[in-house]
Chain A
Amino acid sequence: MQLIIQIAISGLLMGGIYSMVSMGLSLIYGVTGIVNFAHGEFLMVAMFLTWGLNSLLGLDPYISVILVVPLMFLIGMLVEKTVIEPIIKAPHSMQIMATAGLSTVLANGALMLMSANYRSVITGYSSKTLNMAGIMFNVPKLVGFFAAVALTVLLALFLKRTYTGRAITATAQDMKAAQLMGINIKRIYLIAFGLGTACVGVAGVVLMPMYYVFPSLGTYFCTTAFVIVVLGGMGNIYGAFVGGLVIGMVEAFSGYLLAPVYKEVVYFVIFIIILIVKPSGILGRSGRAA
């Protein structure tokens, strides 16, 4: 029993990180209708930024969040302005190709600049664990989990309480109606894309003390994030949060019951089953609503 709880807990904690990556993806899709195939690469960029700040300036990863997140927000807006805005009304296939192209550029650009080496940031708390009633909590994972919860709450408050947030929600629900109400759609797209990228920035920061970064890291996280987003319902950020936790648990249990290498096979099976049985995701609401 203790073992089962332990597995569930560590899955849940890892799930928090996945949630953060997926929320950004879901937000971007919900508002702009773009499925961002470069999302995993944004995570890789955020992790390299964290690593760079640590090795150049000696910044602790958790402190570097104040630089990495705004930087990622800017990078997201830059990408939106140059690549996404021109194709926002293009057919789906063109949008997919553009973001897939972007992902190739980022992954291989990183390979050129940083080489294929694995890099990590070693901190005093990297492998620290808390022991509660015989169950171990890995400290960086715990921080990541709470960061995910905090991010979800903040994002929800932002979308519900602020003017810009409500404008974003309105755009996600009905772009044309929002435009008629005087909302500047282009600006909303820009902000939403920046926000989605900033979410990945937070994920990159909390992931850095317990993981390593390498140029092709994006592919793995991107597939996982897609499964989560589909699980939670495309465009639904709360769904992405719940979906992340579910997939984290699935990963932990399939690693224990089968073998860690088969976890992606399990994802795929889940993915296909959801797509066939309930394409709107476990939280139900279909369509694009943030």
Chain B
Amino acid sequence: MDGKKTKSPKFLIKYLVVAGAVCFAIAYGNTNAFFAHNLVLIFLYMGLSQAWNIIGGYAGQLSLGHVAFFGIGSYTSTLLYLNYGITPWIGALVGAALAAVVAYGLGWATLRLKGAYFTLATIAFAEVLRILATNFSGITKGAQGVGIPFRPELGNMIFRGKTGYVILALGFAVIVYLVCRYMDRTRLGYYLAAIREDETTSASMGINVANNKVLAMVLSAVFTAIGGTVYAQYILFIEPASEFSYSVSLNMALFAIFGGLGSLYGPIVGAAILIPIQEYLRVTFGGSLPGLHLAMFGLVLIITVLLMPKGVFPTIQGFVQGRIARSQKKKLRGEGSQ
């Protein structure tokens, strides 16, 4: 990383602007509960969607059952906390470890499959976990769900008011971002991109396709599980129907695809744009027109795939770069003619 020394002040300004905007948003959220709620969900889904992007975007293996790991994370930390008094901070790590083991097994069994088979297997797996969570009521309390008593304390990962959760979710998103950024610039990122573009060629170039895909799956599952814990601590109630809901899997994938599949900023942009729309639609039409926000999202998904398959962020980026290049060319031509 020799680029560090040559970083211009312009680069720093970008970070400062982002940090300033986030601080301002958190401060405003302190006075407006709905806004703060949106922030929590935006940051949470930024993290989740980035985690999904590792396997779904970078490695190009479309999982639509990631909610399985989300549910494993939330159930593990919650049950450890309620039954054994283990703090969710540690519970999150236990959940992540468990998710890693499960992802390893599932990945080993299913990642050798091509495209749609893998997607099907992930959907089916999440469905199975939902059924098990509903029916093993001795452990999970079944369909009635588990409530977490409200004892606000940092050690319990429970906060009075929403600002604590905003910071928690933000921290989660930043950690996943840093991991993804690191991955983006190291060998694993390039391996995964190569696998996504052409599996046979990558294998013939000496990349261990199966191992790298499983590794991506495990990494992705670990952070998804931690996100599950964060969500459980925020809502303070978990039940199979919401903890293993297909729409969570779909959202994770949708935000990444909408923003830009396999790009570092794609999931961040996607979550920041789509979560507020979703929450607005849900609050405004949830009672009178149930399903509207999900139907809209399905439509957004189709339109994204049809019109800008690269996603919003790369499309805009490409547009802006094209404009700059064109204007520079014009300038040069103008100078040449004089």
Contact = CB atoms under 8 A, between A and B. Distances in A.
Interface of A: 35, 37, 83, 86-87, 90-94, 96-98, 100-112, 115-116, 215, 219, 223, 226-227, 230, 259, 261-262, 264-265, 267-268, 271-272, 275-276, 279
Given A91-B60, A112-B289, 4 more contacts: A35-B120, A110-B291, A115-B290, A275-B109
Contacts of B299: 101, 105
B115 A101 contact: no
B309 interface: yes
A271 B297 contact: no
B301 A108 contact: no
Given A105-B302, A108-B294, A265 B121 contact: no
B131 interface: yes
Interface string B106-134: 00011011111101110111011001101
B113 A112 contact: no
A108 B116 contact: no
B116 A215 contact: no
Given A101-B298, A108-B298, A92 B115 contact: yes
Contacts of A219: 246
B113 A97 contact: no
Contacts of B294: 104, 107-108, 111
Contact of A111 (B60, B117, B119, B291): B291
A259 B134 CA distance: 13
Given A112-B290, A112-B292, A261-B135, A98 B127 contact: no
Contacts of B290: 111-112, 115-116
A275 B68 CA distance: 20
Given A87-B305, A93-B115, A111-B290, A272 B109 contact: yes
B295 A97 contact: no
Nearest to A83: B302
B164 to A, nearest CB: 33
Contacts of B253: 97, 100
A226 B299 CA distance: 23
A268 B110 contact: no
8 contacts: A92-B114, A100-B250, A102-B298, A104-B297, A105-B295, A105-B298, A108-B291, A112-B290
Nearest to B253: A97
B123 A104 contact: no
Contact of A87 (B120, B125, B306): B306
A100 B121 CA distance: 15
B44 interface: no
Nearest to B305: A98
B261 interface: yes
B103 interface: no
Interface in B295-321: 295, 297-302, 304-306, 309
B192 to A, nearest CB: 14
B62 interface: yes
Interface residues of B, number: 45
B271 interface: no
Contacts of A110: 291
Given A101-B299, A268-B127, A279 B62 contact: no
B291 A35 contact: no
Contacts of A276: 109, 112
Given A35-B116, A100-B301, A83 B289 contact: no
A271 B125 CA distance: 10
B96 interface: no
B115 A103 contact: no
B295 A96 contact: no
Given A92-B115, A223-B123, A264 B301 contact: no
Contacts of A35: 115-116, 119-120
Contacts of B116: 35, 92, 96
Contacts of A87: 305-306
A107 B245 CA distance: 14
Contact of A102 (B62, B131, B135, B302): B302
B120 to A, nearest CB: 5
B127 A223 contact: yes
A98 B258 CA distance: 12
Contact of B124 (A100, A115, A116, A268): A268
Nearest to B285: A112
Which residue among A91, A97, A116, A223 has the maximum number of chain B CB atoms within 10 Å of its CB? A97
B222 interface: no
Contacts of A275: 109-110, 113, 117, 121
B158 to A, nearest CB: 33
B257 interface: yes
B64 interface: yes
A262 B135 contact: yes
Contact of A90 (B64, B132, B301, B309): B309
A71 to B, nearest CB: 21
Contacts of A106: 298
A100 B257 CA distance: 13
A265 B301 contact: no
Given A93-B115, A108-B291, A264 B298 contact: no
Contact of B131 (A107, A111, A116, A261): A261
Contacts of A227: 124
Interface string B143-155: 0000000000000
Contacts of A86: 306
